[in-house]
Amino acid sequence: MRTPALQGPLSDARVWPIRNYDDLTAAKNFLSSEWDRLAIDTETTGLSYHDEVRLVQFGDTRDAWVYDPKEFPQLTFDLMNLMVLGYPVVMHNSPFDCLHLAQLVNCPVESFMVNVADTQIFAHLLDPRDRIDGGTGKGLKECSAHYVDPSAPDGQSALKARFKELGFKVAEGFAKIDKWDPTLVLYAGIDVILTARLHKEFKKVLPQDMNHLVDFDHQVQALTTRMTQKGVLVDMDYTVGLLETLDEELLEAQAQAFLMGVENVSSTKQVAEALLARGLVLEERTPSGAWKVDKMILESLDDDLARAVLTAKASMKATSSWIEPIFEHGQIDGRVHPRIKTLAARTSRMSITDPPLQQLPSGDHRVRSCLIADPGHVLVACDFSQVEFRVLAALANEEKMIETFAQGGDLHDATAERLFGPGFTKEQRRLAKGVGFGKVYGGGVDTLSRQAGVSKIEAKKSMAAFDRSFPRVTRWSRQLIDKVTHGEPLVQLPTGRRIPIDRRYGYRATNYMIQGLAADLFKGALLELDQAGMTEHLLIPVHDEVIAMCPTAQSEEFSRSLEEIMSGELGPVPITAEAEIIGRSWGDKYKKEIYV
């Protein structure tokens, strides 16, 4: 006898639990029938790579089927076979679900992910802004409410309410709730139906001139998902030792701070009062009126208490954000599997979570040293040289910059020479570099003064000298900002990607254009590596750099191949990639780097 369907807030939708043989037969009949595109989703115990899959659900715009993959494992293989054979499948945030499905059937994720359409990619292309920034948002509920039905049900909110009713915290609710709880089953199925409907609407509203970006973004996503599945080897002995070292550093720093009047190093009030009592001068306040004692301010103070607080916070941050997650991953299969979000920022720049490896402190090699190459292999890093400035030179058609890059010169040296003459000092080069990044990222006089350690007058003079030296950059930037401020409030990249901007923040247009195009160039380079058959060597994309791995004996040849494939041109400007053989540990690179 068939298990009755669950009827939810969508009157024309049905959710079918698969609990017995009759249910299974009906589900298989559905799969063998005609449907435009099959939506697939999973419910897991948590968000981590290794968390357990509790339910799998699939369906179309009207019917959804929900089953326990442990009870009906063959059904998962049937779904995978449909994907491998090229049947149209849609998911929302497909890397998450594809990685979990791949673990269920123990297969490479690339074997079936190639034919998946991700509605989250469509959402980003149509409006890359989050709701808090005035956009549609990219969550399933947000997109469904905007594109499908304003009253589209919010499964997450309903589940959170159910968790509260059962006495579960949100973080533990997905693991502890009965998998056949009607609320969980109903909204698992509803999410599938909404995903199918959402894809149908996206196909209607997405401009045809963005179809190439749909293909591009899906290819990049499939590539980075393969990187996540491969993972990076963890040096477990070193990681355990580092956890102990950081714990000792924390205890010592807390003890020092306690002797100087601070019981809780995380209390900004206690830290501020203790610093003032020690005769330090604080000048900045938060919007609430409290003294500001953030990392930048503490680093500017030549004081033992400030150093103790910084050490304690750095130890806590490293332990909780990076080392413990790396250790937890490593305990399971010896590798860390970071999730790579290919469209994390409005500009389409990538980010990494679980753990957030893009946020590692550049001045401390210890966290990176937890990650190592496989036996007999070495790590190789390859990144673009001064890519933001090369993009700026091409977009502004700034001849002086183009000439510097064409001749293989260093733009920061060239800028310093233009601003201060051929005998410029290291400090002047640092200032010239800061002025350039100010143009790229929209920083003003105050930011440059603080970061370069110079007076506001000197910062202002340097920025004016930059404008005189590179007039086309200034003209291009002003025209772009004026267009956004007084015309259509968006920038459109040469690749066709569109980035909306609030008119009040028109000054961000320059940065969005440069950062967005640089991101697309980097992703294009990754796809070039994929097409060259090098994907199995790629581990992590970090900003404009890719960390790869190859057999030790082939490292020189491999590095040259990386450079050759990733390098190219952007109009008249050469885009140059530079590879470096790091060694066995990722941290080896940061032990020897000299920052200028």
Write phi, then psi, for 291 (nearest 5 degrees): -65, 140
Encode pLDDT of 348-376 as tens digits: 999 999 999 998 887 779 999 999 999 99
Mean pLDDT of the chain: 92
Split at pLDDT 50, 70, 90, the class of 238 is very high
**The pair of three-digit structure tokens given for residue 309, joined into one six-digit string:** 């607080």
Three-state secondary structure call for residue 573: strand
CA dihedral 286, 289, 293, 295 (to 10 degrees): -10
Tokens coding 586 = 């990722």
Q: What are the CA-CA distances from residue 146 to residues 127, 299, 497 (Å)?
A: 11, 45, 21
How would residue 592 be classed by pLDDT, with cut points 50, 70 and 90?
A: low
Average pLDDT estimate for 241-259 = 96
Q: Which helix (DSSP H) or strand (DSSP E) does residue 378 occupy?
A: strand 377-384
| Percent of the chain whose pLDDT exceeds 70 | 99
Q: Which helix (H) or strand (E) holds 247?
A: helix 236-259
**Which pair of structure tokens corresponds to residue 192?**
């599938």
Distance CA 174, CA 172 (A): 6
Closest CA to 463 of 491, 481, 443: 443
pLDDT mean over 281-295 = 88
Q: Is the pLDDT of residue 595 over 70?
A: no
User: Higher pLDDT residue, 159 or 198?
Assistant: 198
pLDDT tops 70 at residue 532: yes
**pLDDT for position 445:** 76
Of 271, 359, 360, 365, whose CA–CA distance to 310 is shortest? 271
- At residue 20, the pLDDT reads 96
Burial class (CB in 10 A: 0-12, 13-18, 19+), 568: middle
In the predicted structure, residue 591 carries a pLDDT above the cut 90: no
596 pLDDT more than 60: no
pLDDT of residue 545: 95
Q: What is the average per-residue pLDDT within 236-256?
A: 97
| Model pLDDT, residue 464 | 85
Q: Answer whether residue 157 shows pLDDT above 70.
A: yes
Does residue 594 have a pLDDT over 50?
no
Q: Can you give the pLDDT at residue 362?
A: 76
Task: Please report the DSSP string for 55-107 in residue order.
Answer: EEEEE-SSEEEEE-TTT-HHHHHHHHHHHHTT--EEESSHHHHHHHHHHHHT-
Contact 525, 566 (CB under 8 A): yes
Task: Point out the least confidently predicted range of 328-332, 392-396, 439-443.
Answer: 439-443
pLDDT of residue 202: 96
Closest C-alpha among 344, 358, 348 to residue 516: 348
Whether the per-residue pLDDT at 562 is higher than 60: the answer is yes
Question: Is residue 517 pLDDT above 50, yes or no?
Answer: yes
pLDDT tens for each residue of 119-138: 999 999 999 999 998 999 99
pLDDT band at 447 (very low <50, low <70, confident <90, very high): confident
Is it the case that residue 37 has pLDDT exceeding 90?
no
Burial 475-503 (b: 16+ CB within 10 A, else e): ebbeebbeebeeeebebebebebbbbbee
Residue 72 predicted with pLDDT over 80: yes
Nearest 5°: the CA angle 33, 36, 42 is 85
| Residue 89 confidence (pLDDT) | 96
